[in-house]
Amino acid sequence: MQNFDLASIISQCGVKLYDSELTSQNSRTIYRVYIIKDGGVSLEDCEKVSRVLSPIFDVMAPVEGEYFLEVSSPGLERKLSKIEHFALSLGEEAKITLNDKSVFIGKIISVDGEMITFSNDDGKSKFSFNEIKKAKTFIQW
């Protein structure tokens, strides 16, 4: 299992770690690493991070058993699962589902500790990070 600072290693490639996840698709275990960079992430950025991580993961695998490494941008509509994700998304629209199953869409205008402030046509709304069941940035097409 992983026992090193993934964010520090990735930062040496000129990008920042956004998140990582372990998932399964078509009976395959996938370890995904999401990276971000001002101006956007390129295919070359993903390749560079993959080339740096692969030999490290050969020695210190991030998961047990066979897996596939994927490195990518988190995308336009990206998951907001950490308070830091909300801070990185200031000024962007988000769609959140609260613990009571109600859904809220609004622009992220501030993050203060565990409190996140949103605005929409109804005004400002504040939610504690703990009140949010799931969230993602939201693009109206």
Which residue matches tokens 């097409």? 141
Q: Coil, helix or strand for 92?
A: coil
Delineate the domains of the chain, giving CATH numbers in brackets: 6-72 (3.30.300.70), 83-137 (2.30.30.100)
pLDDT in tens, 18-43: 999 999 999 899 999 999 999 999 99
pTM for this predicted structure: 0.83
Side chain identity, residue 95 = K
Assigned token pair, 133: 């069941």
What's the CA gap between 28 and 67, in Å, rounded? 7
H or E stretch including 135? strand 132-137
pLDDT in tens, 99-132: 999 999 999 999 999 999 999 999 999 999 999 9
